[in-house]
Amino acid sequence: MSESIGGDAPTAAADPGGDGFDEAFALADPIGGWLTRDQARALWDAAADLPPGAHVVEIGSHQGRSTVVLARALARSGGRLTAVDAFVDGPRYGGTATRDVLAAHLEQAGVTAVVDVVAARSQDVRSRWSEPIDLLWVDGKHDYWTCSDDLRWSEHLPPHGRCLVHDAFSSIGVTTSLLVHVLPSRRLRLTGRVGSLALLEVASPSGADRRRLVAQLPWWLRNVGLKVLLRLRLGAVARRLGHVGPFDPY
């Protein structure tokens, strides 16, 4: 798996070994969302490393950008994906219309049979969940309380199972949740990040693991500052600080 600590995401190789990633990302890239190519590669590698018949849970599917990548990787080994999204009504999330768009993207990618779409809040699904899972991908609502509850899905992972979290050290809510629940944790450790995608593992953390997490805070504060500048329409100032483009850092 591609890992980066202390800097932005590494440049991804062009589908080394012809493992199918390029084809999967070509299907996912036109789908709306903020998952970068390097982050998609990290998802692909994590799913591709799982044993045959593995079960992955995705929290927050939206239109399916990450869903397609995960499902294409799992389809190669008979795995399956449970995609949990509340599909909240309103202009921001789109409600039922967004779910229909997701279904169309899954069909286009040929992974409908691999994905079980669960239209419900992740907290409600988790409260009645009892099945072991092999990989957890968290990209749901980014407030502290929701992310904190989403991290509890990691209780269903095996030892050394992986939990990947999007918008870490970018979103205030997600980062605060990691500081409160991962920094002092005895069972989750940060192994790296790819841009704002945090790579967690179910394992007892060392002092170095905890220092690794704390070391991300300057990058987080920079990202928060850039977001403030963009909200204030001070893009020129953000560019002088090294930010490229009109969108938030991801």
pLDDT band at residue 194, thresholds of 50, 70 and 90?
Answer: very high
Q: Where are the domains of the chain?
A: 17-206, 215-245
Find all residues with CB under 8 Å of 118, minimum gap 6, and list them. Answer: 82, 83, 84, 85, 125
Q: What is the dotted CATH code of the domain comprising 17-206?
A: 3.40.50.150
pLDDT band at residue 91, thresholds of 50, 70 and 90?
Answer: low
pTM of the model: 0.91
Helical (H) or strand (E) element with 44: helix 37-48
pLDDT digits (tens, 9 = 90+) for 125-167: 999 999 999 999 999 999 999 999 999 999 999 999 999 999 9
Q: Which of 7-11, 55-59, 233-237 has the lowest mean pLDDT?
A: 7-11
Residue 38, both tokens: 């390097």
Asked if the model's pLDDT at residue 72 lies above 80, the reply is yes
pLDDT band at residue 11, thresholds of 50, 70 and 90?
Answer: very low
Task: Give the closest residue to 55 by CA, choosing from 35, 77, 39.
Answer: 77
The CA–CA distances, whole Å, from 196 to 45, 51, 52, 110, 154 equal 17, 27, 29, 29, 19
Query: Checking DSSP bridges between strand 135-138 and strand 115-119, what pairing results, if any?
Result: unpaired
For 190, the 3-state DSSP assignment is strand
